[in-house]
Amino acid sequence: MASGEGSERHGGNLAAAARRSGRRPGSLLDASASLVPFAPPPALRLALLRAAAGSALRAYPDRRWRELREVLASLHGLPPACVLPGNGAAELFTWAARDAAATGTSLLPAPGFADYGRALACWGGAWRHWNLPLCWPESFPQPLPPLPAPPEGEAEPRVLWVTNPHNPTGQLWSRAALEPLLGRFPLVICDEAFLPLVPAGEAQSLIPLLSRYPNLVVVRSLTKLLAVAGLRLGYALGDPERLRRWAGWRDPWPVNGLALAVAGDLLARPDWYARWTARVQAWTRREGAWLAQRLAASHQLTPLPSAANFLLVRAERPLSPVAVALERRHGVLVRDCRSFEQLGDRWLRLGLQDRRGNRRLLRALSAELV
């Protein structure tokens, strides 16, 4: 929230930033959202044109999402009944939260993604925070920090929400560290939205454990990987009976026809998907190390180790005025971290860009951190 507006819970609001700054949206550098910075792949744009020229615009979308469920199931080695496409991951968190609220108190990591609390509030769900340490080593994956003991006289939470890699810290937790928790909680919701962007990240995914743990739900997003936030496409993987229940709660057509057609086209080509993810992961590794090194050398900001395509940075001075100045004077958006529980005015989250964009980000920061 580059404007410093305390009510904003997400980055990536280009339209609002353009209105505030009097700039064209295309002239802004958006490091507040954590998307792949290069244009959506040509294959995606061709698929979108084919879908628009066909029946995807005129016809109602398939209410059973058959084609997309089949290709996603094949991608992950699961039966199609274990897949539920959604209108982005955010829509699926709403239904996960309905299950969670009915199960009992949730345990939410802090700092953490604010949308979990938003979703739980829809259903009157109760939650407690699990305060994570704000210092960790550079090696990934890592063991999970210990879970807190419940306050005296209170029962243990019955639902655990986990983000892997964690947002906003960028920590990657090992599958071996997470698996014991699946036998401890009646419901575990694991958000793996950023995992496909992490080099070797898939080795830590909980998806291979789904067949053994019907209490596990894994939520994925295609938004970050394909740079298609406007299409709004995510999916949940889990127990078929649970996903059928979620499907019965939803509006009739939560996923639009263009999103279904484009994703079904691309993901049906596993060789293409492998090449694209390899390119994205190489970018994450290269630009993350490059930007972290230069931020650390400035002695103004301290970047924390991150396996993901964003860096959490801290300073010894308030950074909200810096975020506002970056937007107004440089057209650069960064994520003010005050909306994250446990973080405050001395933290920013920076989404990785391409090399040209990262240089622009560094120039703008240097001009304001004087």
47 three-class SS = helix
342 vs 361: CA distance, rounded Å? 25
Residues near 213 by beta carbon (within 8 Å), at least 6 away in sequence:
182, 183, 188
* Weakest mean pLDDT among 5-14, 33-42, 192-201, 301-310: 5-14
Q: What is the model's pTM?
A: 0.92
Same domain, 333 and 246: no
Q: How far is CA 176 from CA 22, 141, 142, 180, 227, in A?
A: 49, 10, 10, 8, 30
Task: Tell me: pLDDT of 4 over 50.
Answer: no
Task: Tell me: pLDDT of 40 over 90.
Answer: no
Range 168-197 average pLDDT: 97
**Residue 14: both structure tokens together:** 């280009």
Domain of residue 151, CATH code: 3.40.640.10
The single residue listed with the structure tokens 């937790």 is 173
Q: How many domains does the chain have?
A: 2
| Residue range(s) defining the domain that contains residue 111 | 42-268
Task: Tell me: pLDDT of 55 over 70.
Answer: yes
Domain-embedded: residue 156: yes
* Weakest mean pLDDT among 21-30, 77-86, 351-360: 21-30
Domain-embedded: residue 354: yes
Domain-embedded: residue 9: no
Task: Tell me: pLDDT of 12 over 90.
Answer: no
Peptide bond into 157 cis (omega under 30): no
Same domain, 151 and 287: no
80 pLDDT tier (thresholds 50, 70, 90): very high
- Concatenating the DSSP letter of every residue in 291-342 gives HHHHHHHTSS-EEPP-SSSEEEEE-SS--HHHHHHHHHHH-EEEEEGGGSTT
Q: What is the H or E stretch that residue 94 is in?
A: helix 88-103
Of 251, 268, 285, at which residue does a domain stop? Answer: 268
347 pLDDT tier (thresholds 50, 70, 90): very high
Q: What is the H or E stretch that residue 236 is in?
A: strand 234-237
Q: How far is CA 47 from CA 39, 57, 177, 258, 274, in A?
A: 14, 13, 39, 9, 18
Which residues make beta-bridge pairs with 348?
313, 336
Rg (CA), the chain: 20
Same domain, 171 and 50: yes
Of 242, 268, 294, at which residue does a domain stop? Answer: 268
80 vs 363: CA distance, rounded Å? 48
